[in-house]
Amino acid sequence: MAGAKKRSPKKSPKKSPKKRAVSSAASKKVPKQLRVRMYRVGFGDFFLVTVPSADGPRHIVIDCGVTRGKTGKGDIATIKTAVRHMAKETGSKLSLIIVTHRHQDHIIGFSRCPEFSKFKVDAVWMPYWETEYAPKVTAFQADLENVALSLRAAALAGNHDEHTDEVLAIVENATGMSLTEGPGGGTNKKSLELLKKGLGVKPDYYAKGDRAKLPSALIKAGLKATILGPPPADEVDFLKLMDLQKGVGQYVAAATAGRGRTALMPFDSDFVVDASSYPATAFREFAPRSPGRAPDAETRHDRALEQAVKRATPAALFMAAKKLDAMLNNQSLVVLFEWKGKKLLFAGDAQGGNWEYWLFGAGVPAKDPSALKLSNEGKSILGSIDFYKVGHHGSTNATPIPAVEAMRNDFAAMCSVEAHTFGTESNNSEVPRGPLLDALEKKGALVRSDQIAVSVGELDVPAGSKVSLPMPKKGRFVIGSCYVDYLLS
């Protein structure tokens, strides 16, 4: 079992000189407290929100997925254990399932874990970009999936370099398809089929500005919900923004012009030719160089050109894959919950465009993001949150600096992540990004999922980070067998 180790005697966690450690056992019942539970599944989101009510606890699952990532270390093979634990905890009854977006690290668990097919579910929420009742949306999603598969084929055909594995990891995350079957199986397609047609309820699809329809049991329990993202269907330009420095996404726009194709073909077949259509002189600059001798203008050197293009292909594909990744992340459902005056923000994997749309209230993407000012809504929300689910696993492009600066100083935060899965510190792309987490920790109390050891039955996965856990100013963190809880009264 990947990532699992034999059980070993546990050591008492060391206390930080500045922060107190949390308690080590969780209560099974929370009759007066709202509970946010983050399961440790590796690089992926799996959250269980439990709302107390007079009729018993009401449960909400937000995402359930994991990905191996670029390094192959992201899937620690605990997701099935976590889902079984959640099924027992909830009695296989959920008031609501929220799917933020279609990436593997957010949905693969729904098809990998057979328990979900046995659940009684009152409602399912998905981003508007998943609706099957708007031709514009379904065509757009089909385009993105086709681009992903084309990128995969092109990456495998070109020379292998440091970008190739990351391109393949991004495509696997987007499609749920990989060269080798991951532990436990499942695909994104099967997960979407279950969520849309296999749970006995018709999903509700939401975008910014839509009024959320909570199940009556959650309303009775005092819960409110506001949809902040994603941008609606007529705001495609916001989906293309990778960060607030503006990735414009032209590559995706060009590559999706002709749907149904299985290769990247930006031009019609009448305009596609091979090297034989050009004179030999067109390739003279690619001829081998000899001292004191000019390139031979009469000899063809198209093979050298072909090799040069192949060497450049992985880097170009990497940039295209990043654009695709950003567009799917920007489709994330962003939900603000309110309970007894407490506010909880779940941002999915929203990147720059999603944040910009609701945070700044801009009608069109700004050419100069530094000139943007937070909208009154953005200031009000961030200045009053009690809990923040860190966006996009702590990636640097998912929680804008103005958002962190606007957050209050005493909130609790959870970041579901597995270190050393994507990016590297050498080029400032590591996930989670160190400076971002440092900034969040200065504002509030932050817990990472890879700080939690998993110990259930014969499964024993040690913590990947030895940083002591903090004590929030409001509520408290409690460690369980494969999760960490945040309890808020």
Average confidence (pLDDT) over 156-169: 74
Burial 313-343, CB ≥16 within 10 A → b, else e? bbeebbebbbbbbbbbbbbbbbbbbebeebb
Contacts of 422 (CB under 8 A, 6+ apart): 43, 69, 70, 71, 74, 166, 169, 395, 429, 430, 431
Beta bridge partners of residue 64, listed in sequence order: 46
pLDDT at 276: 61
Q: Report the run of H or E that residue 310 belongs to, with start and end.
A: helix 302-329
With a cut of 80, say whether residue 488 has pLDDT above it: yes
Q: What's the rounded Cα separation, in Å, for the pair 146 and 155?
A: 14
**pLDDT category, 15, cuts 50, 70, 90?**
very low
> By three-state DSSP, how is residue 205 classified?
strand
Q: Which domains does the chain have, with CATH numbers?
A: 34-257+317-488 (3.60.15.10)
Which has more confidence, 139 or 308?
139
With a cut of 60, say whether residue 358 has pLDDT above it: yes
In degrees and rounded to multiples of 5, residue 339 shows phi and psi of -145, 120
With a cut of 70, say whether residue 347 has pLDDT above it: yes
**pLDDT category, 79, cuts 50, 70, 90?**
very high
Share of the chain above pLDDT 90, in %: 49
pLDDT 10s digits, 324-342: 787 888 899 999 999 999 9
Sign, CA dihedral 207-208-210-211, equals positive
pLDDT 10s digits, 28-43: 454 589 999 999 999 9
Q: Are 465 and 452 in contact (CB under 8 A)?
A: no
Burial 101-123, CB ≥16 within 10 A → b, else e? bbbbbbbbbbbbbeebeebebbb
Among 219-223, 265-269, 281-285, 433-437, the range with the most confident prediction by mean pLDDT is 219-223
**What value, to the nearest 5°, has the Cα angle with vertex 432 and ends 108 and 81?**
35
Average confidence (pLDDT) over 109-127: 97
Q: Report the run of H or E that residue 117 belongs to, with start and end.
A: none
Average confidence (pLDDT) over 8-30: 45
pLDDT at 25: 44
With a cut of 50, say whether residue 183 has pLDDT above it: yes
pTM of the model: 0.79
Q: How are the residues of the chain apportioned to helix, strand and coil, as percentages rounded to the nearest 5?
A: 35, 20, 45
**pLDDT category, 303, cuts 50, 70, 90?**
low
pLDDT at 480: 95
Which class for 456: exposed (0-12), middle (13-18), buried (19 or more C-beta within 10 A)? Answer: middle
